[in-house]
Structure 1
Amino acid sequence: MSADTVRTWRRRFLERGVDGLYDEPRPGAPRKITDADVERVIAKTLEEKPKNATHWSRKSMAEHSGLSKSTVGRIWRQFQLKPHLADTFKLSTDPLFVEKVYDVVGLYFNPPEGAVVLSVDEKSQIQALDRSQPVLPIMPGMPERRTHDYVRNGLTTLFAAFDVATGEVITALHRRHRAAEFKKFLIRIDKEVPAHLQIHLICDNYGTHKTPAIRTWLAKHPRFQMHFTPTGSSWINQVERWFGFLADQKIRRGAHKNVQALEADIRAWVKDWNEDPKPFIWTKTAEEILDALANFCRRISGAGH
């Protein structure tokens, strides 16, 4: 606080003792909303739900509490309560969660010498969707408009290996999503990565990554080393962020009359990306990740240990 504020409170204490430290009456109309009113709104918001609804609105809380909608809104803003919003979360139950976090994050911060680290996954069931009517282009004062309904024109799956050091991506498109296609993708990686480099693959725990056929192939190619992310923790796999860029920039608002057109667009987008690749900068250490998760578990009710 400012030096003037300190001087004011010291002077009031010298003049009137402890009584001088109480707030003096403020000018203006007396306060109409009591602390009990505020406490009642907060308690209702946190501990109860309205009848026949999943969450409170300003209108329903105002009717229940007898306060105005604007007053309810001010109380919620003051205490950062947002009943209309809901977020998602999932805590991993992997018994080797800590070990896997240290393993994967260690590869991001300290990649082995003479090796390439690839973040690998599949974006499955990418739909070739075409709108039922032509898309209307953006105009001054009017956003791009499209029909809410669409026609499904088939599916494809994108296999991707994201080089965490350079940002370059090795990809392959297949119509099916089986261990056989994953094996073909491993063969492609083996051909494209220089033979003198070891290959560390960061994968999730999907069944196609662990079949006997895949294990047999890996045993015959010892330069490949698999590192599995914890179950339910796709956020730690960098290729997922790359998939997000692809979806935002090419797929989500795209219109494709067939799978071939969709795959051509994906190949073109990947080619442009690899002409100017950008790696992601990983900033969280394993200790920081584990501390953040521990704090979250302490905050949520019923999480136990």
Structure 2
Amino acid sequence: MRAQVVLHAARARSNARIARETSLHLDTVRVWRGRFAEQGLAGLADRRRCGRPARFTPVQVAGAKALACRLPAETGVPLSRWSCPELATELNARGITNAVSASTVRRWLHQDALKPWQHCSWIFITDPHFRPKAERVLDLYAHTFDGVELGEDEYVVSAEEKTSIQARCRCHPTLAPGQARAMRVNHTYGRGGALAYLAAYDVHRATVFGRTEPTTGIVPFMSLVAQVMSQEPYVSAKRVFWVVDNGSSHRGEKAADRLTEAFPNAVMVHTPVHASWLNQVEVYFSVVQRKVLSPNDFTDLTEVGDRLRAFEVRYNATAQPFQWKFTTSDLDDLLARLDRHTADHPEQSSFRPAA
């Protein structure tokens, strides 16, 4: 910025014009132009300031950040991930810094938004037909199938099972929240068994159909299908597309044939392997988990089932379709990023999804 002021001045421009072109205050331009005229290039440097000089050099700060960006196992440290105190200890032990505190390390990492104590999981795409399968599901959400817009008598239903919902009977009653006090749930509980919750979600009508079963399997899943397909508008629909994942209850072509044999107007559409996040009913299950099942405090499985069915009625009364924003364009961007990643790190995966 100071050099720009000098270069503009060398072109015989006025202070006012320099201020306009550099977006600086007129006084700022006057100060640095005057200093350069008096002292030359040395006048553009900072003057000596009072106060304690910096204890750590930029090289030491960069060394701390570089260490934070390496896995502890790669450096021979028996840790799964870094914390600021552990980083401070390691920096002192390696001689990168002298007596640095954890708070100082935390401040350095904050400058570059580094959080080595956090982690997230991920998985490579393993389905060789990931894109066509995902595209078919996303097109259904956008009212399209095989390039043809869905008719008014065609519906899209997303189905899945939520397994092992326990009935935990707390040994002491749950206390309601009060002034400056959160709701209190006793840590000790007795187990009252577990059940499975099967749900089918009409994507465009925002309607949920659910049932509870002792366990999952082909028979419980087909019972859910029959529950939906035996009522209007599905019983007289031209086609009803069932979006499911690759669980054992509805995996492969046999499951698709079994569904079509029982209900000729039903079409099973599978999500790619390890891509249940494309199934919209999972969003509904997350709502159920937050609003109905957490914290878990039920006397028995009958109460669990009654609560789930009552919530369905409450949800359907006001439900709106989910604002699904992940489109085929986003899918292409995702696959492009994965391609770039595997190209940069070929040793991590030899798989390339089919286009």
Matched, 1:27 2:66: no
Quote the offset at 1:198 in angstroms.
1.5
Alignment equivalent of 1:95, drawn from 114, 128, 145? 128
> In structure 1, what is the Cα distance between the partners aligned to 2:185 and 2:45?
59
> In structure 2, what is the Cα distance between the partners aligned to 1:43 and 1:36?
10
User: Residue type of the partner of 1:269?
Assistant: F
Residues 166-220 of structure 1 show CA distances to partners (whole Å, capped at 9, x for unaligned) of 2111112211211011111111121124213420111001121137476234235
Matched, 1:292 2:318: no
> In structure 1, what is the Cα distance between the partners aligned to 2:44 and 2:186?
63
Q: Give the secondary structure class of the aligned counterpart of 1:148.
A: coil
User: Residue type of the partner of 1:121?
Assistant: E
Q: Give the secondary structure class of the aligned counterpart of 1:152.
A: strand
Q: Give the secondary structure class of the aligned counterpart of 2:69.
A: helix
Matched, 1:142 2:181: yes
The answer to whether the Cα contact below 8 Å between 1:160 and 1:239 also exists between their aligned partners in 2 is yes
Matched, 1:109 2:142: yes
Alignment equivalent of 2:89, drawn from 38, 49, 63? 63
Matched, 1:183 2:222: yes
Match of 1:204 in 2: 245
The answer to whether the Cα contact below 8 Å between 2:239 and 2:265 also exists between their aligned partners in 1 is yes
> In structure 2, what is the Cα distance between the partners aligned to 1:144 and 1:42?
41
Q: Give the secondary structure class of the aligned counterpart of 1:136.
A: coil
Alignment equivalent of 2:170, drawn from 119, 131, 149? 131
> In structure 1, what is the Cα distance between the partners aligned to 2:191 and 2:100?
50
Quote the offset at 1:147 in angstroms.
2.2
> In structure 1, what is the Cα distance between the partners aligned to 2:117 and 2:267?
46
User: Residue type of the partner of 1:138?
Assistant: P
The answer to whether the Cα contact below 8 Å between 2:138 and 2:328 also exists between their aligned partners in 1 is yes
Distance change >3 Å, CA 295–CA 28, structure 1 → 2:
farther
User: Residue type of the partner of 1:46?
Assistant: C
Distance change >3 Å, CA 84–CA 291, structure 1 → 2:
same
Distance change >3 Å, CA 59–CA 175, structure 1 → 2:
same
Match of 1:72 in 2: 105
> In structure 2, what is the Cα distance between the partners aligned to 1:5 and 1:291?
44
Alignment equivalent of 1:4, drawn from 5, 15, 24? 24
Tell me the C-alpha RMSD between the 2 structures.
2.9
Alignment equivalent of 1:246, drawn from 273, 276, 288? 288
Q: Pick 1 or 2: higher relative contact order, CA cutoff 8 A, min separation 6.
A: 1
Residues 208-247 of structure 1 show CA distances to partners (whole Å, capped at 9, x for unaligned) of 1137476234235221111111111111111001001011
Q: Give the secondary structure class of the aligned counterpart of 2:219.
A: helix
Q: Give the secondary structure class of the aligned counterpart of 1:4.
A: coil
The answer to whether the Cα contact below 8 Å between 2:169 and 2:189 also exists between their aligned partners in 1 is yes
> In structure 2, what is the Cα distance between the partners aligned to 1:48 and 1:4?
45
> In structure 2, what is the Cα distance between the partners aligned to 1:46 and 1:143?
38
The answer to whether the Cα contact below 8 Å between 2:237 and 2:265 also exists between their aligned partners in 1 is no
Structure 2 gaps of 5+ residues are 2-21, 92-98, 145-149
The structure that has the greater radius of gyration is 2
> In structure 2, what is the Cα distance between the partners aligned to 1:64 and 1:158?
49
Quote the offset at 1:152 in angstroms.
1.3
Q: Give the secondary structure class of the aligned counterpart of 1:82.
A: coil
Distance change >3 Å, CA 26–CA 154, structure 1 → 2:
farther
Structure 1 gaps of 5+ residues are none
Q: Give the secondary structure class of the aligned counterpart of 1:107.
A: helix
